[in-house]
Every structure is written in C-alpha cells, then in structure tokens.
Structure 1
Amino acid sequence: MSVRTFVKGSTYWIKLDNAKRANSLTTKMYDDVCRGLDEANDHPSTTFTAITGDGKFYSAGNDFTPAEWNTKHAASKDLEIGPFRMGRRIIDHDKILLGLVNGPAFGIAATTLALMDYVVCADTSYFSTPFSLVGVTPEGGSSGTFPSIMGISRANGMLLFNQRLEALQALQCGLVGKIFPKDDFDRLSVEMIEEFEKLPRHSLLASKSLIRNNAWKQKMRGIFETEVEAIRRMFGSEATQKMIEERFDKKKQ
C-alpha cells in the first residue's frame, strides 16, 4: 500500500504509507495523493484535509530511482509528472489543508508545506531542499513562499546551498505553527484536529477563501508555472541527467 485515505469526523486524511522507502513519492503515490485531494475537495461534509506520513519520515520527496524515474521524459512539455499535478491541486484546494509533519521532509514534500493552511511538526523533523545536489531548481512555489516566510538569506541557504531547516527554526520563522514530541505526535495531532472540528464549518471555509483568495491563487500559480518551466529545462540538460543517474542508480555507484 502506498497511500491510505479515510474520513474521520470532518477531516479527510491522506497518509503516505511507504515507510520502507521513507515515504518517497512514486508515480502511483502521486496519482493516489492527487485523487485523494480531489475527493477531499469534493467531499460534502468535511472541513479539513490532513496530510501526514507513516513511520519515521514525513516524506523523502520524489523517488528518483531508475525504476520510478525517467529524467528525459520529465523534461517533456507533453508529460505532466506527479509533482506538477500535486502542486497545482494544493494551490487550488478549497478545504483547510493541514500538514502533519511526523518526521523529516525533503524536496517537494517540504516545499509544498508552505502552500498549506496550517503545519505542525514532530521535534525530530527537519526540512531539506537539496535541489542543487541533483542539478535542479526550486519547486512547489518555494522560490516565492520561502523568501516570504523565512527571509531571503535563510531561504537561499535552503534553496541554493542545501542547508536544512531544523524543527525549532521552522517554528521561529513561521513555516510551522507548533512542535509536538515525536512519541506523542499522532495523539496530539488528532487532539488538535478534534479541537479545530468544534469550530463552525461555514465560518472556517469562508475565512480560508479570504486568506487564500483568487489573487493569492493566481500569484502562486504564476510562480509555480515559472518554476515548472525552469525545472523542465534542468531535466532536459545532460548535466542534470547525469547527476540524478549517478546519485540514484545503485548499479552505477
């Protein structure tokens, strides 16, 4: 099983369930997450959509192993790969989107948190966007969201120089709203959501529509599409193809 979805109370849950691979996102997992986001958005009685991971990791980001990934294909404008589809859905999501970061988050799993409405993390979490290590560029809207949230130097430390953001730093800069102890993370996250669910649905969704209004969505779509074009160009370069192959193809290591 790769992604589990279920409804509990007024929350639609999307749980990444690939713990043996640190919840690395495969093609099927992207399909399942996108389907879950669509179902959550259309669900008649839910107010919240919660995304979390199973095991020690929230998600190690995109699965670049040869069995799952073809860099040349990802460069094609005729192919809409999983990260692009998932990011667009997160921007356009109408329900209140909660990121429950149970452990480390890498790449697209880290960048898309800044598009969510409220994020909490475990004290063992950290956030890493090692784009230059594989010859790509920022994704998931992070070229706009990260500088806005954490300031240009810290954002560039992550996006350009592969510096990771620790849980306390993420709280201090506002990427996350709370830190829970790892051992109690699942229980405290559920208790937090149960408290949220006591609030009036119509008011919450109306408030979100003001905060994440059409102007915000248009701005983020513009940033996102610019990033998509840039990263496609990177995927099309021989240098990037070689870096990804050397880093993730164990047969050539």
Structure 2
Amino acid sequence: MSESVVTETVAAGVVQITMNRPDRKNALDRASYAGLIAALAAADADETIRAIVLTGAGGCFTSGNDIRDFAAAAASGDGARIAIDFLTAISSTAKPILAAVEGFAVGIGTTMLLHCDLAFAGAGATFRMPFVTLGLCPEGGSSYLLPLIAGQKVAAELLMLGEAFDAPAALDAGLLNRVVPEGTALEHALARAKTLAALPPQSVALTKMLLKKGTRTATAETIAEEARHFGERLRSPEAMAAFAAFLKK
C-alpha cells in the first residue's frame, strides 16, 4: 500500500481510507491512485468490512490531480490511465462509500463524490472542477451524472466555467448529503458508517446495487468516452500551455 494512502479499521465493520499527502494538499499522483485502487479492492473483498469512509489528511480532502505528475504522464504518453482506473474502481465498489470533505475538493476530488453513496462536508470546504481551464474535459462520468443530479444549467455552469463553489452550493447541486460545522465532516461520516455497518449487510449491498442499476451502464460508458477525450486533451497544446503556466506559479 502506498504511503500516500493510509488504510485503517476505525470501528467494527468500518474502514477509513485517507489520502495522505498533506504537504501537497493531498494531490493525487500515480502512486496515490494505485494505493486508492488497492484499498478499495481490499475493503470490498473483506467480509468483515461493511462501510468505507474516504477522507483526506491535514484538513484537506484533495486538491485533485498532481499537475506535475500529470504533465510528466502527458510527456511520456502514459496519459491519465491510472486515474481512470481509480474512477472505474470507485464507481463499481459494492460496499457503501462515505466521503468526509474538509478544505479543498478539486477536480477529481469533486467528481469522485458522484460515486460516493453519502458525503458530508465541513462548512468551509471549497469545490471546483477546473477541467476546461486546464485545457481538458470532464472525467469520472461527471458529464452524465452531474446533469442528472444537479440539472443541465447548474452542471454547465460548474463544468464549463470551472469556477470554485462553496459547500452550500455543493449541497444544492446534490454532491453532498449535509454541510456540517467545519472540522466535523469525518465525525459525521464515521457515525453514519457505523450505522450502516450495524445493518444487515446483504440488504445494504442489494439496496446499493438497485440504486445504481439504472445508471450503471451509462456511467461506465461515459467514463470510457470521457477518458478517450481526456487522454487526447492531455496532449493538446492548450493543456500543455495550462500546465506550464500552473507550474510557473
């Protein structure tokens, strides 16, 4: 397991997966994605685990993809495959996933919430999907799922303009279950996870499966189509210029 991802059983039936690069605001590089994929697979396969809580270290969820790592991937031709593999993993995990968001949730830090079953954010959390501003395009099935839950106009505003928005706006857009006092998102997520862990596990799993049945195929197809465009955009002059400008800051 990557050191940039820490996994621990925090209560009976509850595993906590923590994105752990606080010095980089938990920006996700290839090692982080590999760690997250392995942690989700292990939790899903463990019969003693009933619920998964996903959070970030140091009072921050994640600042999204590590731009240095992404720029290197683009230059080497590797593209964003590992990030897409993570999004496929989180979208297909059978156990319930609960997100605890504080600080920044940028890019994939926001789109991964579309695949979490429950999500709680501290009142000071900030969200952003700056794909267009980086010369890229939506990922993680967001071009399908966000209009579905937030409406076409809100989704267009958040994805096309790529501007930051606050926790109440994220709640209104359907990305969250609740906005809680700053610093208490993990506490609330763990409390709900413990409640889920105490419920009949087969009934919980079946309910999650049925809830996602209607969108499963379209979500997988959209993730795959977005990934093709994303890989192309990653190598585009617009993206290269945006990365270079970002790295000069």
Common fold: TM-score over 0.5:
yes
For the residues of structure 2 that align with 1:181 and 1:125, how far apart are their CA atoms?
10
Which residue in the other structure is 2:8 paired with?
6
Report matched runs for 1:236-251 at 5 Å: 236-248=235-247, 250=248
Which residue in the other structure is 1:229 paired with?
228
For the residues of structure 1 that align with 2:18 and 2:205, how far apart are their CA atoms?
23
AA partner of residue 124 (structure 1): G
AA partner of residue 63 (structure 1): D
Q: Is the 8 A contact 1:106 1:127 kept in 2?
A: yes
AA partner of residue 230 (structure 2): I
AA partner of residue 232 (structure 2): R
Aligned residues: 246
For the residues of structure 1 that align with 2:217 and 2:162, how far apart are their CA atoms?
28
Normalising by structure 1, what TM-score?
0.90
Residue 228 of structure 1 and its aligned partner are, at CA, apart by 0.4
List per-residue Cα deviations over 1:87-108 (Å, max 9, x = no partner). 0101211111111112220001
AA partner of residue 31 (structure 1): A
Which residue in the other structure is 1:40 paired with?
43
Residue 246 of structure 1 and its aligned partner are, at CA, apart by 2.2
Q: 1:233 to 1:80 in 2, by over 3 A?
A: closer
Q: Is the 8 A contact 1:14 1:49 kept in 2?
A: yes
AA partner of residue 62 (structure 1): N
Q: Does 1:20 align with 2:23?
A: yes
- Residue segments in structure 2 that go unaligned for 5+ positions in a row: none
Q: C-alpha root-mean-square deviation of aligned residues, in Å?
A: 1.9
Normalising by structure 2, what TM-score?
0.92
Q: Is the 8 A contact 1:112 1:141 kept in 2?
A: no
Which residue in the other structure is 2:179 paired with?
179
- SS at structure 1 position matched to 2:184: helix
Residue 66 of structure 1 and its aligned partner are, at CA, apart by 5.6
For the residues of structure 2 that align with 1:176 and 1:246, how far apart are their CA atoms?
32
AA partner of residue 209 (structure 2): S
Q: Is the 8 A contact 1:111 1:142 kept in 2?
A: yes
For the residues of structure 2 that align with 1:244 and 1:104, how far apart are their CA atoms?
19
Residue 196 of structure 1 and its aligned partner are, at CA, apart by 2.7
For the residues of structure 2 that align with 1:232 and 1:201, how far apart are their CA atoms?
38
Q: Does 1:191 align with 2:194?
A: no
Report matched runs for 1:6-85 at 5 Å: 6-8=8-10, 9-65=12-68, 69-74=72-77, 81-85=81-85
Q: Is the 8 A contact 1:94 1:209 kept in 2?
A: yes
For the residues of structure 1 that align with 2:30 and 2:166, how far apart are their CA atoms?
28
Residue 186 of structure 1 and its aligned partner are, at CA, apart by 3.0
List per-residue Cα deviations over 1:34-76 (Å, max 9, x = no partner). 11011111111212111101112100000012697332335x5
Report matched runs for 1:109-124 at 5 Å: 109-124=109-124
Q: Is the 8 A contact 1:125 1:167 kept in 2?
A: yes
AA partner of residue 234 (structure 1): R
Q: Is the 8 A contact 2:154 2:173 kept in 1?
A: no
- Residue segments in structure 1 that go unaligned for 5+ positions in a row: none
Q: Is the 8 A contact 2:40 2:93 kept in 1?
A: yes
Which residue in the other structure is 1:217 paired with?
216
Q: 1:199 to 1:90 in 2, by over 3 A?
A: same
AA partner of residue 241 (structure 1): M
Task: Quote the sequence identity (%).
Answer: 23
